[in-house]
């Protein structure tokens, strides 16, 4: 996308005069003008006026609705109906009782999203072939009428299971939003096919409860102030935001003297900022490292036998479930009794490339320095056998007795939350059938053939394939799901999915596949409450800073009208606007959950509410302090290092009852490596939220889309830093600029995920959209995405 294009788009937009005046005001301010590109700003000659903060009305909003794990305070400075400036929380660091919620580069750039000349401006319908990207403007009446007609037609013809609301995270963790509005509309008119799980921690979400009975295995980040040793295993909080205040605590933990280890194929920003040591590893091999740590801990008698005896099932022969031989225990696996292979550091080194002595050293330090927190990121579970990674971390936390202790950490998925509010926008889907979210393309292709083995629940068989998709604030139709080329073909076939509604801010790769395309609002243009992800103890008010631009509308209002056409408007809105929903949530939260919650006007003024607690939340503290009265939520009531439920599935090769290293397809031991010698991973980039913000030129300048490769691999191929390269495997080909850097392990290449799929006329991606190369093969147990497990080759373009 060139700057000229921005300018042309901008100037040819048919805007109302009033809007145009506002806009011209908006671009009269340098440095903060949105979407018109630095070049234009630099070249512009006319005199410009800086608007000072004190001349503006400051409205506290929240960068809350993108699926970044953070929630930050954003102050919109509004002058004459125009957001002229964005600032953030100015509170000093250091007060960890209410840590500052300072916005990152994405949030501070949000004005450029709001005023981006490429914003979708009115509803459109497809006129060309699906996916071609040809649309024509239509009225809201026509859009609403068409949606109502198609929803009804498809429901009548195929039944409610044919209607699906796709996973989408562009507006998440708020009170309403497109996905929920679509679900309520469909619930009131017969129902829709549900999905379970997510793309984030899909393997972990299913695996962790087999160990602990729940995914809530994380502790609040203030507990890190008590840790003496912290392992960030495939976790990169400097760049990938799990929670806004996390880094404040990590920094303080470091100041307190905690030793911090980062295990990652890349020398990440986190390793630079926080780590005493970076340990590079080959993707998909973390469990070999973990197994060897277990071996060292046991053979050197560093394990906490009392903890294992009291709280765990399956560590040794004396603590096995009924009817299972002691040979199946964790101990006998690690020592090699069960399979003849002792999981020594030397064994692991050959697989994961971490030197045996280093494995020994980390195992000893982790076991001896108490309390120690082993915190896992989720990328290493977005791998072929991702379930093993999550249970493997938990296993180490148990071997060392770090579970339920202040400053320790139970590892695994790691959710915790202390930010409960009431969600007044509710609905009940009459359809109970549900598929794993990652298998939606399978449900389009052959939904009626899916069974429990594909993770189908709520019914034995689906009566229909998916025929209608609502894709609200997501780029999952194309960009974020695996194997773009395969999905493109599937969706191009208009006889398969017959109707697709998309709501977005921009003409994204997914939006191009819409039949009806709705122009959504930014969070500056609507009311909401921003709730932090699974990690947080505060909520932020999302104030509407200006009226929606152009003809953009909240999905809530649009679907209320569709509901009207279908005779269920009253049931849909219950007479409430989105502002009413926010007010109701605040009032009921105060009344039903937390008497200290502010009243609406105070919350709105302050913009943020921190829930106050006397002590850090420590996962499983209750169970560890008093197991008898607080058993774990597992079948045995204990931590299941050996899970009888998994054992009974009888698929021991791919779904073992104890966590273990399993040699991965498209991993370093796959013979396919002869043909495609490099392992390709992706990560969550600092300048984007997935694909959101990819079309921001300033952010591209701050952190461009490029592929990391080790100098050794580059040399072998005769390619150098800055070269344009071609990356390919059986599934596709993409082109991208190369960054040659020792910051990535030899044998591994990394592409930041989320770049917009930008095919040339032959369908070859020109921007480095990594999902061109990823596979739709799901993980064995959770049926989750394994989008980081890929073999590729690279050559000069």
Residue 436 touching ligand SF4 (CB under 6 A): no
666 vs 672: CA distance, rounded Å: 7
| Alpha-carbon distance values, 259 to 46, 226, 231, 710 (Å) | 54, 12, 8, 27
Residue 514 DSSP class:
-
- CB 120 → ligand MGD: shortest distance, Å? 9
Which structure tokens are listed for 327?
Answer: 């040979």
The β-bridge partners of 259 are: 229
Phi-psi region at 783: left, alpha or beta (left = phi > 0; alpha = psi -120 to 50): left
Q: Extract the runs of DSSP E, i.e. beta strands, from 347-489.
A: 372-376, 434-436, 468-472
CB of 539 to ligand SF4, least distance (A): 13
What is the DSSP code string of 247-292? HHHHHHHHHTT-EEEEE-SB--HHHHHH-SEEE---TT-HHHHHHH
Q: Which of Mo ion, ligand MGD, ligand SF4, none interacts with 561 (beta carbon under 5 to 8 A by kind)?
A: none
Kindly state whether residue 26 participates in binding ligand MGD, applying the rule CB under 6 A: no
Nearer to Mo ion, 524 or 533 (CB): 533
For ligand SF4, the closer CB: 184 or 688: 688
Determine which residue in the list 284, 329, 429, 636 makes contact with ligand MGD, applying CB under 6 A. Answer: 284
Q: Which of residues 68-107 bind ligand SF4 (CB under 6 A)?
A: 68, 70-72, 103-104, 106-107
Q: How far is the CB of 785 from ligand MGD (least distance, A)?
A: 7
Cα–Cα distance list, 771 to 80, 355, 724 (Å): 43, 32, 18
3-state helix, strand, coil in the chain (%, to 5): 35, 15, 50
Does residue 529 interact with ligand MGD by CB under 6 A?
Answer: no
Q: Which of ligand SF4, Mo ion, ligand MGD, none does residue 788 bind to, with CB < 5 to 8 Å depending on kind? A: ligand MGD
Residue from 329, 753, 775, 776 touching ligand MGD (CB under 6 A): that is 753
Q: How far is the CB of 690 from Mo ion (least distance, A)?
A: 7
| Closer of 278 and 632 to ligand MGD (Cβ) | 278
Please say whether the beta carbons of 736 and 646 come within 8 A: no
Closest contact distance (angstroms) between CB of 308 and ligand SF4 is 39
Binding partner of residue 268 among Mo ion, ligand SF4, ligand MGD, none, CB cut-off 5 to 8 Å per kind: ligand MGD
- Cβ contacts of residue 335 below 8 Å, gap of 6+? 295, 298, 299, 342, 343
Task: Tell me if 505 contacts ligand SF4 by CB under 6 A.
Answer: no
The verdict on 684 binding ligand MGD (CB under 6 A) reads: yes
Question: For residues 173 and 499, which CB has a smaller minimum distance to ligand SF4 in the complex?
Answer: 173
Nearest to 375, CA basis, from 505, 533, 218, 527 = 218
Kindly state the smallest distance separating residue 74's Cβ from ligand SF4, in Å: 7
1: how many CB neighbours lie within 10 A of its CB? 15
- Report yes or no: 666 and 730 within 8 Å, Cβ to Cβ: no
433-455 burial code (b ≥16 CB/10 A, e <16):
bbbbbbbbbbbbbebeebeeebb
Nearest residue to 204 via CA among 329, 68, 380, 374: 380
72 binding partner (options ligand SF4, ligand MGD, Mo ion, none; Cβ < 5 to 8 Å by kind): ligand SF4
Count of residues in contact with ligand SF4, rule CB under 6 A? 13
Q: Which does 375 bind (CB under 5 to 8 A by kind): ligand MGD, Mo ion, ligand SF4, none?
A: none
Q: Which one of ligand SF4, Mo ion, ligand MGD, none interacts with residue 235, CB within 5 to 8 A by kind?
A: ligand MGD
Shortest CB 262 distance to ligand SF4, Å: 20
Measured CA to CA, the distance from residue 38 to residue 9 in angstroms comes to 16
- 241 counts as binding ligand SF4 under rule CB under 6 A: yes
| Nearest alpha-carbon partner for 60 in 103, 114, 109, 27 | 103
Give the binding site for ligand MGD (CB under 6 A).
65-69, 168-171, 178, 199-200, 233-236, 239-241, 263-266, 268, 281, 283-284, 286, 377-380, 382-383, 473-476, 479-480, 503-506, 508, 520, 522-523, 681-686, 688-692, 753-754, 770-771, 774, 787-788
Give the binding site for ligand SF4 (CB under 6 A).
63, 66, 68, 70-72, 103-104, 106-107, 241, 244, 689
């Amino acid at each position: 996308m060139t700057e000229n294009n921005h300018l042309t788009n901008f100037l040819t937009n048919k805007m109302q005069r009033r809007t145009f005046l506002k806009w011209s005001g908006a671009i009269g301010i340098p440095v903060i003008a949105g979407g018109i590109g630095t070049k234009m700003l630099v070249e512009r000659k006319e005199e410009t006026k800086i608007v000072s903060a004190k001349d503006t009305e400051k409205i506290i909003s929240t960068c809350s609705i993108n699926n970044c794990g953070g929630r930050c305070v954003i102050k919109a400075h509004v002058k004459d109906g125009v957001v002229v400036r964005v600032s953030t929380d100015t509170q000093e660091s250091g007060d960890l009782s209410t840590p500052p919620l300072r916005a990152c580069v994405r949030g501070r750039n949000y004005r450029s999203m709001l005023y981006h000349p490429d914003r979708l401006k009115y509803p459109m319908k497809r006129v060309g072939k699906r996916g071609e990207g040809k649309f024509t403007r239509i009225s809201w009446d026509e859009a609403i009428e068409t949606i109502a007609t198609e929803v009804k037609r498809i429901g009548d013809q195929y039944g409610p299971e044919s209607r699906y609301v796709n996973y989408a995270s562009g507006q998440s963790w708020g009170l309403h939003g497109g996905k929920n509005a679509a679900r309520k509309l469909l619930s009131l008119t017969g129902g829709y096919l549900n999905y379970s799980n997510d793309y984030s921690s899909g393997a972990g979400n299913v695996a962790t409860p087999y160990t602990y009975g729940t995914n809530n295995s994380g502790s609040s980040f203030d507990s890190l102030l008590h840790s003496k040793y912290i392992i960030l295993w495939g976790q990169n909080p400097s760049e990938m935001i799990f929670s806004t205040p996390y880094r404040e605590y990590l920094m303080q933990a470091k100041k307190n003297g905690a030793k911090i280890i980062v295990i990652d194929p890349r020398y990440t920003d986190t390793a630079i900022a926080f780590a005493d040591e970076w340990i590079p590893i080959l993707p998909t091999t973390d469990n070999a490292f973990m197994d060897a740590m277990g071996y060292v801990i046991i053979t050197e008698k560093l394990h906490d036998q009392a903890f294992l005896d009291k709280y765990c099932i399956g560590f040794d022969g004396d603590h096995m479930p009924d009817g299972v031989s002691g040979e199946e225990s964790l101990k006998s696996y690690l020592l090699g009794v069960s399979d003849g292979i002792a999981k020594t550091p030397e064994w692991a080194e050959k697989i994961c490339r971490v030197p045996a002595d280093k494995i020994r050293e980390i195992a000893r330090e982790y076991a001896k320095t108490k309390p120690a927190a082993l915190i896992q990121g989720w990328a290493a579970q977005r791998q072929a056998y991702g379930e093993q990674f999550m249970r493997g971390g938990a296993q180490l936390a148990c071997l060392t007795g770090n579970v339920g202790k202040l400053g320790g950490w139970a590892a695994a998925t790691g959710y915790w939350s202390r930010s409960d509010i009431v969600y007044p926008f509710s609905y009940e889907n009459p359809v109970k059938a549900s598929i794993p979210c990652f298998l939606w393309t399978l449900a389009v292709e052959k939904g009626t053939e899916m069974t429990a083995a594909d993770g189908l629940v709520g019914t034995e068989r689906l009566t229909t394939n998916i025929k209608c998709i609502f894709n609200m604030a997501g780029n999952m139709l194309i960009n974020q799901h695996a194997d773009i080329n395969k999905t493109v073909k599937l969706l191009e076939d208009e006889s398969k999915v017959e109707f697709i509604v998309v709501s977005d801010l921009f003409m994204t790769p997914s939006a191009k596949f819409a039949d009806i395309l709705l122009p959504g609002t930014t969070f500056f243009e609507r009311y909401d409450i921003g709730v932090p992800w699974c990690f947080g103890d505060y909520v932020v008010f999302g104030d509407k800073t200006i009226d929606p631009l152009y003809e953009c509308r909240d999905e809530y209002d649009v679907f209320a009208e569709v509901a009207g056409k279908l005779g269920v408007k009253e049931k849909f809105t219950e007479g409430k606007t989105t502002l009413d929903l926010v007010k109701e949530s605040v009032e009921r939260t105060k009344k039903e959950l937390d008497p200290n919650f502010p009243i609406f006007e105070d919350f709105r003024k302050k913009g943020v509410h921190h829930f106050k607690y006397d002590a850090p939340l420590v996962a499983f503290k209750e169970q560890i302090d008093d197991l008898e009265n607080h058993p774990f939520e597992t079948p045995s009531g204990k931590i299941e290092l050996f899970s009888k439920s998994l054992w009974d599935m009888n698929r021991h090769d791919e779904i073992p009852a104890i966590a273990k290293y399993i040699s991965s397809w498209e991993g370093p031991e796959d013979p396919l490596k002869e043909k495609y010698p490099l392992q390709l991973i992706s990560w969550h980039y600092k300048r984007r939220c997935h694909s959101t913000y990819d079309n921001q030129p300033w952010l591209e300048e701050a952190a461009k889309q490029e592929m990391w490769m080790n100098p050794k691999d580059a040399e072998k191929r005769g390619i150098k830093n800055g070269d344009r390269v071609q990356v390919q495997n059986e599934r596709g080909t993409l082109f991208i600029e190369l960054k040659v850097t020792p910051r990535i392990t030899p044998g591994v290449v990394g592409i930041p995920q989320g770049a917009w799929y930008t095919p040339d006329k032959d369908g070859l991606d020109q921007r480095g959209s990594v999902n061109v190369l990823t596979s739709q093969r799901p993980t064995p147990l959770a049926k989750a995405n394994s989008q980081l497990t890929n073999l590729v080759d690279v050559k000069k373009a």
